[in-house]
Amino acid sequence: MTNAILRASHMPIQETPPFSAGEFRSAMRNVPGTVSIVTTGTRPGRHGLTLTSGCSLSTEPSRVLVCVNKNAGAHDMIKESRVFCWNILAAHHAGLAQTFSGQDGSKGDVRFTEGLWQALATGAPSLIEAICSFDCRVVEAHDAGSHTIFVGAVLAQTMNTDSEPLVYVKGTFAVPQVHDSRH
């Protein structure tokens, strides 16, 4: 086993993979993602986008990460203000997720006319009915090609655990079914 690992670590890394960007996107369509909205800024200069590339990074200290496209309206503001709020959406937030992915052509602050928002520690908009909101100060920003990976130190959080979470898979919104392992 150890020899196999050593051999693998000495294999040259293929820089040009034997599949196209389209094939990579097709594979990624099958990976379920937690649907969230990342926000930054204060009224009337708020920005936010729908995002599935967020996750918990560390529990002690409490850290999360979000991957934001450099072309997204919120990107430069997160980079400059060094704050963001990561809002995990519930099943009834599919319409909000569409709005914050720009599907109705809206941009910037006008997106926040939908939903109820409040400020926690940083001032970035926190969705009152989100399953969880994590209000963060940016402690690291890593360049990652088309995206920047922002690592956030969580300064405040909220929880509404009665709702079901919203996921995105195979190009559509879905709600996970609870699996009872006793059956």
Ligand X SMILES: Cc1cc2nc3c(=O)[nH]c(=O)nc-3n(C[C@H](O)[C@H](O)[C@H](O)COP(=O)(O)O)c2cc1C
Judged by the rule CB under 6 A, the positions of this chain that interact with ligand X are: 35, 49-53, 67-69, 72-73, 101-102, 107, 168
Cβ pair 37, 96 in contact under 8 A = yes
- Toward ligand X, which CB reaches closer, 146 or 177? 146
Closest to ligand X by CB, 1 or 167:
167
Minimal distance, residue 59 CB to ligand X, in Å: 22
Determine contact, residues 67/147, Cβ cutoff 8 Å. Answer: yes
Nearest distance from residue 172's CB to ligand X, in Å? 9
Closer CB to ligand X, residue 60 or residue 143? 143
Residue 152, amino acid: G
3-state secondary structure 56-91: EEECCCCEEEEEEECCCCCHHHHHHHCEEEEEECEH
In angstroms, the CA 8 to CA 10 distance is 5
Say if residues 130 and 54 touch (Cβ distance below 8 Å): no
What's the min distance (Å) between Cβ of 15 and ligand X? Answer: 24
Shortest separation between residue 89's beta carbon and ligand X, angstroms: 10
Please say which residue, 101 or 160, places its beta carbon nearer to ligand X. 101
Report helix, strand or coil for 5.
helix
